């Protein structure tokens, strides 16, 4: 039996894993999907003081109070920043890090450091214009996060909430040798291709595994069975492709 902790991305909440959680539990595994402070059902806690460290401490609290060990820690999109910070402070509780179409920071980088300059400036300008400089409303896309089914789009849009910008400006630290030695998998959602640069970077680095999913960025919504199968190690390996397998 493995223990999965699923960390959502910006504007989302623990609700976004609703279709994946039952599949992992049906296979006999424990699953936790916390909602980060200020988002989802915790949107009433949103404030200018919510930063990356706040969200790292959210997940650390789950690990400590649930007494979790040998955890497969999955971070989606912005959640890659969070799981990197968690690994720095609780590597002894973790078995594997999974970056699901996610940001992969180096030591000392914040999320906005990973944006192209123009995108970074546009993001901060929109926060100033629409969120008092410290919060950012959800993006107004026709097919948000690569979700294409009209019913899924309506469900998704009804739950997205503003995201605190300080979580994107605080740098992450990654200096603990135990954290750096953890096995890591990058899962690229190829239908959108937003994180191809990170996928290409880590594929050439030791200690990384790579897998892809032919679906949009929000794979937990658009391809929950394929994502669950990947996490459970049910997908057959192909040349140049290795999968993360649940331990136990």
Residues 3-48 pLDDT 10s: 999 999 999 999 999 999 999 999 999 999 999 999 999 999 999 9
Active-site annotation holds for 77: yes
Q: Is residue 248 part of a domain?
A: no
Residues 70-94 pLDDT 10s: 999 999 999 999 999 999 999 999 9
Q: Residue 245: what pLDDT?
A: 46
Q: Is residue 220 part of a domain?
A: yes
Q: How confident is the model at residue 239 (pLDDT cuts 50, 70, 90)?
A: very low
Q: Residue 238: what pLDDT?
A: 40
- For residue 241, is pLDDT > 50? no
Q: Residue 1: what pLDDT?
A: 86
Q: Is residue 242 part of a domain?
A: no
Q: Residue 246: what pLDDT?
A: 46
Mean pLDDT of 104-124: 96
Choose the catalytic residue: 47, 77, 158, 204.
Answer: 77
Q: Residue 240: what pLDDT?
A: 41
Q: Are the C-beta atoms of residues 194 and 215 closer than 8 Å to each other?
A: no
On whether the pTM is more than 0.75, the answer is yes
Spatial distance between the Cα atoms of 60 and 52, rounded to a whole number of angstroms: 12
The residue segments making up the domain with residue 163 are 3-232
Q: Is residue 240 part of a domain?
A: no
Percent of the chain residues past pLDDT 70, beyond the cut: 94
Average per-residue pLDDT for the chain: 93
- What is the total count of domains within the chain? 1
Q: Is residue 106 part of a domain?
A: yes
For 1, counting Cβ atoms within 10 Å of its Cβ (0-12 exposed, 13-18 middle, 19+ buried), the class is exposed
Q: Is residue 117 part of a domain?
A: yes
Q: Is residue 52 part of a domain?
A: yes
Q: Residue 5: what pLDDT?
A: 98
Q: How confident is the model at residue 234 (pLDDT cuts 50, 70, 90)?
A: low
Which DSSP state fits 238? B
Taken as a whole, the chain contains a residue count of 248
- For residue 184, is pLDDT > 50? yes
Residues 192-222 pLDDT 10s: 999 999 999 998 899 999 999 999 999 999 9
Is residue 235 helix, strand or coil? coil
Q: Residue 247: what pLDDT?
A: 42
In Å, how far are 44, 81, 217 from 77, measured between CA atoms?
A: 23, 8, 8
Task: State CA 77 to chain mean position distance.
Answer: 4
Residues 134-163 pLDDT 10s: 999 998 888 999 999 999 999 999 999 999
Task: Look up the CATH number of the domain holding residue 34.
Answer: 3.40.50.1820
């Amino acid at each position: 039996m493995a223990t999965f902790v699923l960390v959502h991305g910006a504007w989302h909440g623990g609700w976004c894993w609703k279709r994946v959680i039952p599949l992992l539990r049906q296979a006999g595994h424990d699953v936790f999907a916390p909602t980060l402070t200020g988002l989802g059902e915790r949107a009433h806690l949103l404030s200018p003081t919510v930063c990356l460290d706040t969200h790292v401490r959210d997940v650390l609290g789950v690990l400590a109070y649930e007494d979790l060990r040998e955890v497969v820690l999955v971070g989606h999109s912005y959640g890659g920043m969070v799981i990197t910070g968690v690994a720095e402070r609780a590597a002894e509780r973790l078995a594997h890090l999974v970056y699901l179409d996610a940001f992969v920071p180096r030591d000392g980088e914040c999320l906005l450091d990973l944006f192209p300059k123009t995108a970074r400036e546009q993001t901060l300008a929109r926060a100033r214009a629409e969120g008092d400089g410290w919060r950012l409303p959800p993006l107004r896309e026709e097919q948000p996060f690569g979700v294409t089914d009209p019913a899924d789009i309506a469900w998704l849009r009804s739950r997205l909430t503003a995201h605190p910008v300080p979580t994107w400006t605080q740098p992450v630290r990654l200096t603990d040798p135990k954290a750096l030695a953890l096995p890591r998998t990058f899962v690229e959602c190829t239908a959108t291709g937003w994180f191809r640069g990170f996928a290409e970077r880590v594929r050439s680095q030791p200690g990384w595994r790579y897998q892809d999913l032919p679906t949009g960025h929000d794979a937990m919504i658009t391809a929950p069975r394929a994502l669950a199968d990947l996490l459970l190690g049910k997908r057959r390996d192909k040349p140049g492709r290795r999968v993360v397998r649940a331990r136990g």
